[in-house]
Amino acid sequence: MRTIGEIKTEILVRAGANTSAGFYSDTILDNWIDDAHKWVAGRKKWPATEGRSSTTFASLSTNKDSYLQGQYPEGWKPDSIRRLSIDGKKVEKKDFYKFAEYLEDNSSAQDRIFTDRFRYYYVNPNIDVSGSVVVWGQYTPATLDATDTDATTVFSDGLEDLNEAIVEKSLSYASKREKDKNGSQLHEQNALAIIKEAWDDITNEQFQYQEIGGDGMFERFDVVEGGFRDDIIKRDRF
């Protein structure tokens, strides 16, 4: 299943109904599919809902705490920015309270750091940069135009199995409307099982990712001589 039309047909077939019935009008069905789409998208941090957005550094404003403040892109999940760069250079993310305490104790510090809290992100105002601010994070899909039967979901290219979860969640709404509590719970459990299987596949694949070396995170420390091993044992030092 790739298209809204295919998803809609599958729901009607499994429910043994058609859109001429009052319970399954096009409007009701369209709303169920849109709600289910957002529900499935919100369960995990799917690769399909990763986004990139950019703005100008000049668009940041100074808030009452003297931080440079930017607003999250529309439709993005709160606290979901994973990476931020300004003028092509990385700015490191810090915990909000640690960020605030550090700048309070070091008011002139020029560290390239930022933090976020709910719908805003904050940048150290002392860094001397300009240009574009680029953020990467997680967004919630926009409302589907379920009247367009040729439209696709955010999962249709690469994560098509999750369209099955959309069908099951929509059937959960249908069962709930028909006062079938057990049926509603069963369909939702089916949707959750599909989501878990898809997420397990993704995490198993991502487990193969390798860390990029050279960042000093895992340098070996010489407990006898002191210092890092690579600093002590150097080639051609004699």
Position 168 in a domain: yes
- Distance from C-alpha of 15 to C-alpha of 25, rounded to nearest angstrom: 13
Task: Examine the domain organization and report whether 56 and 32 are in the same domain.
Answer: no
Position 113 in a domain: yes
Position 218 in a domain: no
Task: Examine the domain organization and report whether 67 and 29 are in the same domain.
Answer: no
pLDDT in tens, 44-63: 999 999 999 999 888 889 99
Position 226 in a domain: no
Task: Examine the domain organization and report whether 159 and 180 are in the same domain.
Answer: yes
- pTM of the model as a whole: 0.76
Position 104 in a domain: yes
Task: Examine the domain organization and report whether 96 and 125 are in the same domain.
Answer: yes
Task: Examine the domain organization and report whether 53 and 25 are in the same domain.
Answer: no
Domain range enclosing 30: 4-46+154-206
224 in Cβ contact with 212 (< 8 Å): no
One DSSP character per residue, 55-104 reads EEGGG-EE-TTS-EEEEPPTTBPTT---EEEETTEEEEE--HHHHHHHHH
Position 147 in a domain: no
Distance in Å from the first CA to the final CA of the chain:
68
- Burial letters for 59-69: b for 16+ Cβ neighbours within 10 Å, e otherwise? ebeeeeeebbb
Tens of each residue's pLDDT in the chain, 238 residues: 999 999 999 999 998 876 555 567 888 999 999 999 999 999 999 999 999 999 988 888 999 999 999 999 989 999 999 999 999 999 999 999 999 999 999 999 999 999 999 899 999 999 877 789 999 999 988 898 888 999 999 999 999 999 999 999 999 999 999 899 999 999 999 999 999 999 999 988 776 665 555 444 334 444 444 444 444 444 444 4
Q: According to the model, what pLDDT value does residue 227 have?
A: 44
Counted domains in the chain: 2
Position 84 in a domain: yes
State which of 105, 138, 171 marks the end of a domain: 138
pLDDT in tens, 1-59: 999 999 999 999 998 876 555 567 888 999 999 999 999 999 999 999 999 999 988 88
